[in-house]
Amino acid sequence: MPRIVKLSANGPIKIEPSDKPVWVCACGLSQRFPICDGSHKQCPHNEPNPGAVYIYDDARTRVVETRVETPAQHHKPTPGE
Ligand code: FES
């Protein structure tokens, strides 16, 4: 079943399981997911429209659509969902 997953992070999460840290992708654009490969640099920074949602192509390399959602369109999960 296809799914649309919204990610809003513009950078990785640092995990330190030992003396060598691992950077886990939190933006969803990495070609080496779940490891960050620096692709987050293409995420829009200083977003002029905080309501914009960017839809990427299947390769996660190019924005193919920009949607502007109103607050009513934001999904709020119910308990148990
Ligand atoms: S956080 Fe996704 S590529 Fe770096």
* Closest ligand 1 atom number to CA of residue 37: 3
CB neighbourhood size of 36 (10 A):
20
How many Å apart are CA 36 and CA 30, to the nearest integer? 6
Angle, alpha carbons 18-14-24 (nearest 5°): 105
How many Å apart are CA 62 and CA 54, to the nearest integer? 10
- pLDDT band for position 56 (cuts 50, 70, 90): very high
Chain segment 12-55, per-residue pLDDT in tens: 999 998 899 999 999 999 999 999 999 999 887 777 677 788 89
For residues 67 and 76, the model is more confident at 67
Q: Is 37 in the pocket of ligand 1 (CB under 6 A)?
A: yes
* Closest ligand 1 atom number to CA of residue 27: 2
**Does the pLDDT of residue 58 top 80, yes or no?**
yes
Q: Does this model's pTM top 0.85? A: no
Q: How far is the CA of 37 from the centre of ligand 1 (A)?
A: 6
Give yes or no for a contact between 52 and 63, defined as CB atoms under 8 angstroms apart.
Answer: no
pLDDT of residue 75: 58
The residues spanned by each domain of the chain are 13-73
